[in-house]
A and B are shown apart, each in its own frame.
Chain A
Amino acid sequence: MTSARQQVLVLHLNSGDLGSTTVAWAFYDGTLGAEDVQMQAGSENEPPYSSVLDAMRDGWRVFQASPLPERSAAAGTGQLTNEYWLERIQDNDSNEGG
């Protein structure tokens, strides 16, 4: 079985430009075991990258971008928009213990 594991970084930006400022972030780490603690809500106050472009320069690959939101007065506001999913593949043998 392959030892490659996916790490996923979800970044929300303040505009549709990939160089705009990060306003929310989440990290899901496939190298961690079921008993390990993933990133928790409220655990950090500074984003790991200032933008998606900043993360790309560090080796992260964008694999999904949210569609541009439909804006209307009737719809109001809801979920955070400008959402980007990035991945990094790690060799789990070198990450034992997470």
Chain B
Amino acid sequence: MAIAEPTVAPRVNLLNVEQMAQFVFDGFLEFSDLVPDELNEMVHADLLKAVGADGLEPAYRWHITDNPHGFYEESSAVREVHALPSVQGVLQSLLGPGHVGSHSAVHATRPNQMEAQKWHVDGGGRRQVRLPKVHPYSFDILTAYFPHDTPYEMGPTLVLPGSHMRSVLGNDISRYKNIVGQKRLSGPGGRIVFMHEALWHCAQTNETDQWRFMFKIRYNPRVPQRGLFDTDGWDNDEIRRFFRTNKGAHSLTGESPAVVTERANWWRYLCNADELDDPSGTGGHGDYA
């Protein structure tokens, strides 16, 4: 079974151009106001029932069962969270109609677990290392839902903003340990983070005496990801200024010039516009750089 979107997918609660531009730069968007508190509490209660002395119950370990949606099927509350119009609006904006949740997983970190997960990218890698028939601008979305408060010391997921623009294979990056700009997704309960599939991430140590939970779904698009959000103002002065003033964002080792062009072309693709015109062949980027 796969998680399909509701039969009627309203085009409401769509992302605006400022939000989508932030996604293009950072590789993720975080929302703290999409889910009512009572639903968060219900999901948290269901998650506490899913762990025992040996950790996550086997029925919910998707990689050792033949069911990639054990907890999703078990918890009506978590299904309700992901069907909320507010959540579907973001998914519609990023993935379009017909998106499918290919698998989901409970991420549970034990109390006082002092070993972190290693840096990795889910599903192997991106773009140049993917099959040639995969469109270079297509991407899956990983939702990371934190139903309860996850302060820094509880070890919420660590991400490297901007790393989605790098082509790497999944576990090669486990050599790295600490990187300037890394960010723990700490904060209050009820947050959902929508991550580009290529974003570098890993779970963190849990220095508290409480279980730390995160529920993930990987969603696949079924349409070209163009013009799916509220593109009003996509090329206005503010957006162009945003791209110009942040052109060096997340540049660690001198890759900024290469990323500027790729980012601008991806942006134009997302906005259903032609890629940058460069009749001179000199690599000019116009106002985006």
Interface size for A (C-beta < 8 A) is 30
Asked if B202 is at the interface (CB within 8 A of a chain A CB), the reply is yes
Asked if B112 is at the interface (CB within 8 A of a chain A CB), the reply is no
Task: Collect the chain A residues with CB atoms within 8 Å of residue B177's CB.
Answer: 24-27, 39-44
Asked if B255 is at the interface (CB within 8 A of a chain A CB), the reply is yes
Asked if B173 is at the interface (CB within 8 A of a chain A CB), the reply is yes
Contact B176 A40 (CB under 8 A): no
Asked if A71 is at the interface (CB within 8 A of a chain B CB), the reply is yes
Identify which of B172, B176, B255, B262 contacts A41 (C-beta below 8 A): B176
Asked if A1 is at the interface (CB within 8 A of a chain B CB), the reply is no
Contact A41 B168 (CB under 8 A): no
Asked if B179 is at the interface (CB within 8 A of a chain A CB), the reply is yes
In this complex, the member of B172, B254, B258, B262 whose beta carbon has the largest number of chain A beta carbons within 10 angstroms is B254
Asked if A95 is at the interface (CB within 8 A of a chain B CB), the reply is no
Closest CB-CB distance, A19 to chain B, in whole Å? 15
Asked if A34 is at the interface (CB within 8 A of a chain B CB), the reply is no
What is the total of A-B residue contacts with beta carbons within 8 Å? Answer: 104
Top 5 A-B residue pairs of the complex, sorted by shortest distance between their CB atoms: A26-B177, A40-B116, A42-B158, A77-B255, A24-B179
Quick one: closest B residue to A21, CB to CB?
B180
Q: A23–B163 Cα gap in the complex (Å)?
A: 13
Quick one: closest B residue to A44, CB to CB?
B178
Contact A41 B117 (CB under 8 A): yes
Known A12-B179, A41-B174, A42-B204; further 12 A-B contacts with Cβ < 8 A: A12-B176, A15-B254, A41-B177, A41-B178, A42-B116, A44-B177, A44-B178, A47-B180, A78-B167, A79-B168, A80-B252, A81-B253
Closest CB-CB distance, B126 to chain A, in whole Å? 9
Task: Collect the chain B residues with CB atoms within 8 Å of residue A75's CB.
Answer: 128
Quick one: closest A residue to B117, CB to CB?
A41
Q: A45–B175 Cα gap in the complex (Å)?
A: 17
Given contacts A37-B115, A41-B118, A76-B167, contact A24 B178 (CB under 8 A): yes
Closest CB-CB distance, B20 to chain A, in whole Å? 21
Contact A41 B158 (CB under 8 A): yes
B window 127-144: CB within 8 A of A? 127-128
Task: Collect the chain A residues with CB atoms within 8 Å of residue B254's CB.
Answer: 14-15, 81-82
Closest CB-CB distance, A20 to chain B, in whole Å? 10
Asked if B231 is at the interface (CB within 8 A of a chain A CB), the reply is no
Q: A77–B177 Cα gap in the complex (Å)?
A: 19
Q: A44–B177 Cα gap in the complex (Å)?
A: 9
Contact B258 A71 (CB under 8 A): yes
Q: A40–B166 Cα gap in the complex (Å)?
A: 22
Asked if A18 is at the interface (CB within 8 A of a chain B CB), the reply is no
Closest CB-CB distance, A23 to chain B, in whole Å? 4
Identify which of B175, B180, B202 contacts A42 (C-beta below 8 A): B202
Quick one: closest B residue to A79, CB to CB?
B168
Task: Collect the chain A residues with CB atoms within 8 Å of residue B167's CB.
Answer: 76-78
Closest CB-CB distance, A4 to chain B, in whole Å? 24
Quick one: closest B residue to A16, CB to CB?
B254
Asked if B43 is at the interface (CB within 8 A of a chain A CB), the reply is no
Asked if B93 is at the interface (CB within 8 A of a chain A CB), the reply is no
* Interface pairs (29), CB distance under 8 Å: A10-B175, A12-B179, A13-B253, A14-B252, A23-B252, A24-B180, A24-B252, A25-B178, A26-B175, A37-B114, A40-B177, A41-B116, A41-B119, A41-B176, A41-B204, A42-B177, A42-B178, A43-B178, A44-B177, A73-B283, A76-B127, A76-B166, A76-B167, A77-B165, A77-B167, A77-B259, A78-B166, A79-B168, A81-B254
